[in-house]
Amino acid sequence: MASEPLASPRLTVTGFDPARVRRDFPALALRPYDKPLAYLDNAASSQKPRAMIDAMTAYYETSHGNVHRGLHYLSERATAAYDAAREKVRVFLNAADQREIIFVRGTTEGINLVAQSFGRSIAGPGDEILVTEMEHHSNIVPWQMVCEQTGATLRVVPMTDAGELDLDAFDRLLSPRTKLFAVVHISNALGTVNPIKDLTARAHAAGVPVLVDGAQSMQHGPVDVQDLDCDFFACSGHKMFGPTGIGVLYGKADLLERMPPYQGGGDMIEQVSFTSTTYARLPAKFEAGTPAIAEAVGLGATIDYLGAIDFTALAAYERDLLRYATERVSTVSGVRLIGTAQERAGVLSFVMDPIHPHDIGTVLDREGVAVRAGHHCAQPVMEHFGVPATIRASFALYNTKDEVDALVAALGHARDLLA
């Protein structure tokens, strides 16, 4: 039938087998500079499984049309595939209703949507918006803009030298003036896993709504937004093995219903005249214009792929891999770890005195090891630790201990060349 969504290829996995998973990611077979690729830049963007690539290709070859507007065969197929992707996201996040799933370009746009539609409506002179010292710029700058627009004040929850939030300071900062708390789930610069459920409960006890930056958490397994009880949750497809240009904003329906549209245009309206406009119901109210249809289909296929993985086994594997990487990298002469929180996931951040991280990153690249060197769009974190930048190795479900060994060997080579 024309209304049937595209089927998504699925992976069948018993337990967790990284060697099996690696075969599903074509890019991992590349040999930069004739060296095996060790891709350790997953916090920036993850590689893509064949299932996602095939689903997007199939969409363009067999089902492309504009959604929600056409009565013809291709439009119906595209609409069915697009709407099916939203339901897959809803299930993956355990949202209560499809109306709570808004497709955006990524985490950054999701946060900006909340800032401009919700933040500006609740904040004014004398009010405060609370963020943390470990936030990505995407969860700082939008709130600075809101404060400039409304006269509110930005307050910052400090972190310890281990890279953990100071929970006592958090409790002290919560007040009747606090209008919103915006917090990262997993720090992209440190790997710290914040206790979101506890933080949300504390904030709600003070009557404060909570936005969670989930850009770094979705690639490590499903997130249950109802269990976390956060009011908003933003994430990006490209971080979780999906396409670029697509992301998700989850919001509690009662809040989204009260929020004004973020953008105006086609598909977010019921009726338009030169005197007034009636807006569409959720989620269309926040999805003006032609959406990223193929990218939504690709994201749905990625969720299908992830849904076949044993995440309990994967979590154990990733914990062991991060432990191994921490121990091995710590043996390299001159290495100093940045961020040693008890609860970390996916990220190992460090410097290797006295060599600048950018120089180390360049040498590692020539050895086939892809890492990120810089401030990671988290300059306040770098300022806290007194460094201009760090080397960041970030891990995903396809990384192995052999790649960690390649990283350590490349670091040794960099020291020989540059120290």
Place of tokens 């949202």: 95
Contacts of 1 (CB under 8 A, 6+ apart): none
Question: What integer pLDDT is reported at residue 286 of this predicted model?
Answer: 97
Cα–Cα distance measured from residue 105 to residue 291, given in angstroms and rounded to the nearest whole number: 9
Query: Are the beta carbons of 343 and 360 closer than 8 angstroms?
Result: no
For the question of residue 235 being annotated catalytic, the response is: no
Q: How far apart are CA 84 and CA 93, in angstroms?
A: 14
Q: 221 and 314 in contact (C-beta within 8 Å)?
A: yes
| N-terminal to C-terminal alpha carbon distance within the chain | 66
Whether the CB-CB separation of 77 and 3 falls below 8 Å is answered with yes
Amino acid 215: pLDDT? 98
* pLDDT value for 64: 96
Q: What pLDDT is attached to residue 221? A: 81
Q: Which domains are seen in the chain, by residue range?
A: 18-43+310-418 (3.90.1150.10), 62-307 (3.40.640.10)
pLDDT at 71: 87
Residue 11: its pLDDT value, please? 42
Tell me the pTM: 0.94
pLDDT number for residue 16: 86
pLDDT, tens digit only, all 419 positions of the chain: 344 444 444 343 346 899 999 999 999 999 999 999 999 999 999 999 999 999 999 999 999 999 987 789 999 999 999 999 999 999 999 999 999 999 999 999 999 999 999 999 999 999 999 999 999 999 999 999 999 999 999 999 999 999 999 999 999 999 999 999 999 999 999 999 999 999 999 999 999 999 999 999 999 988 999 999 999 999 999 999 999 999 999 999 999 999 999 999 998 988 999 999 999 999 999 999 999 999 999 999 999 999 999 999 999 999 999 999 999 999 999 999 999 999 999 999 999 999 999 999 999 999 999 999 999 999 999 999 999 999 999 999 999 999 999 999 999 999 999 97
394: phi then psi, degrees, rounded to nearest 5: -125, 135
Residues 6+ away with beta carbon under 8 Å from 266: 288, 289, 290
8 A C-beta contact, residue 165 and residue 190: no
Predicted local distance difference test score (pLDDT) of residue 1: 38
The pLDDT score that the predictor gives to residue 13 is 38
